[in-house]
Amino acid sequence: MRENMEKHLNERKAINKSKGKAGRCPYAKKCGGCALTGMPYPEQLKKKQHMMEELLGSFAKVEPIIGMKEPEHYRNKVHHVFDRDRRGNIIAGSYEAGSHKVVDIDECLIEDVKSQQIIKTIKELAKSFKIRIYDEDSGFGLLRHVMVRRGFKSGEIMVVLVLSSPILPGKNNFVKALKKAHPEITTIVINVNDADTSMVLGEKETVIYGPGFIKDELCGCRFRISPKSFYQVNPVQMERLYKKAIEFAQLTGSETVIDAYCGIGTIGLSAASHAGEVIGIELNSDAVKDARLNARENGIKNARFFVGDAGDFMNDNADELHPDVIFMDPPRSGSTEKFMSAAVKMKPERIVYISCGPDTLKRDLKYFKKHGYKAERIQPFDMFPFTAEHVENVVLLTGAN
């Protein structure tokens, strides 16, 4: 594990050095991904710190943002859209800002390098295997997207081919050729997305190589990650973020803890050995399946996970559950009044809010303030260097009662 991680970091250092000036991106003008390319990293951090102070400073002191030492190529989940250019060449990359035109990207500043190389190989293989590329306008063609996920510590690699139908002609030879070019790949999955949608992944999946998931290590636990489960894309910052969240929770070993919007159980399971009992709630049933298996795999017996809407779950259990600590890690759209009113009703001593959407965090902090919960600490993290507004924050809230 450690070896893999060091290999990974050295790889990044070497690339950063060879490029000379960090932060330069040849696609900056076209690609809508990173608004801060070209800005020196310390300045990016200053800008984000300032933004957070402006936005959240009235609730509590905003602590200095935690940035990265090697801020490039941090994204361990790489997703490219496939298309053809005007001359008919296969291209893969991201959408141009504000459009559905694909920018052909071979070398992205923030994506994992190995994953990009794999996508490049898939581009070549698609040509030699004559795989039809999906056309958004007509709805014809097969290959829509490729997603690659790489376990930071384990080095395991998952390739997800998003197709418009489940049949990949020449499948076995395709897998063989891809594996030959990149023996590090540990699993390949076909995901079927036949809908006219901007969502990347469809419901149906077929594993065509390996176990259908990768494993990675985080905060001393091993995690199984399925294609559709959420997993933070920046593993270095993720571990720091979760450690901070657990520090804010001040667990002594006896507490009842709710891990709301728990995904594959990363926060709750990392906290379980410091708590009496962990109850996780999550909407995505694949993620909950992962969370339960992750508990078992790590020998954790004091954690239970439920599938459902977090707001409904809290509301339904507001009279019975008396957690000491609630972790909440909602999507960018933030939490709901249903969730928060039930959370307040449960009277936890501490709420640890992990947020990836500063604006919705502000809105939700207002609600908690109005209902007797005070922000004690606000710790920003730069989870997504080079992108403009996506600052992650961990906030400790304490109740007056």
Q: What is the DSSP string of 305-328?
A: EEES-HHHHHHHTTTT---SEEEE
Determine the Cα–Cα distance for residues 157 and 212; give it in Å rounded to an integer: 10
Q: What is the DSSP string of 278-310?
A: EEEEES-HHHHHHHHHHHHHTT--SEEEEES-H
Are residues 50 and 221 in contact, defined by beta-carbon separation less than 8 angstroms? no
At its nearest, how many Å lie between ligand SAH and the CB of residue 292?
Answer: 14
Determine the Cα–Cα distance for residues 64 and 304; give it in Å rounded to an integer: 35
Residue 246 DSSP class: H
Q: Which is nearer to ligand SAH, 83 or 259 (CB)?
A: 259
At its nearest, how many Å lie between ligand SAH and the CB of residue 305?
Answer: 11
Residues in touch with ligand SAH (CB under 6 A): 230-232, 261-263, 266-267, 281-284, 287, 309-310, 329-331
Assigned token pair, 79: 């997703």
Assigned token pair, 202: 């469809």
Cβ neighbours of 33 (radius 10 Å): 23
* Nearest residue to the partner ligand SAH, using Cβ: 263
Closest CA to 248 of 342, 363, 381: 381
Q: Which is nearer to ligand SAH, 115 or 232 (CB)?
A: 232
Residues in the chain: 401
At its nearest, how many Å lie between ligand SAH and the CB of residue 182?
Answer: 26
Determine the Cα–Cα distance for residues 1 and 168; give it in Å rounded to an integer: 33
Q: Which is nearer to ligand SAH, 265 or 348 (CB)?
A: 265
At its nearest, how many Å lie between ligand SAH and the CB of residue 396?
Answer: 17
Q: Is 211 helix (H, G, I), strand (E, B) or coil?
A: coil
Q: Which is nearer to ligand SAH, 103 or 225 (CB)?
A: 225
Which residues are the active-site residues?
Answer: 356
Closest CA to 189 of 200, 177, 175: 175
Q: Which is nearer to ligand SAH, 261 or 373 (CB)?
A: 261
At its nearest, how many Å lie between ligand SAH and the CB of residue 388?
Answer: 20
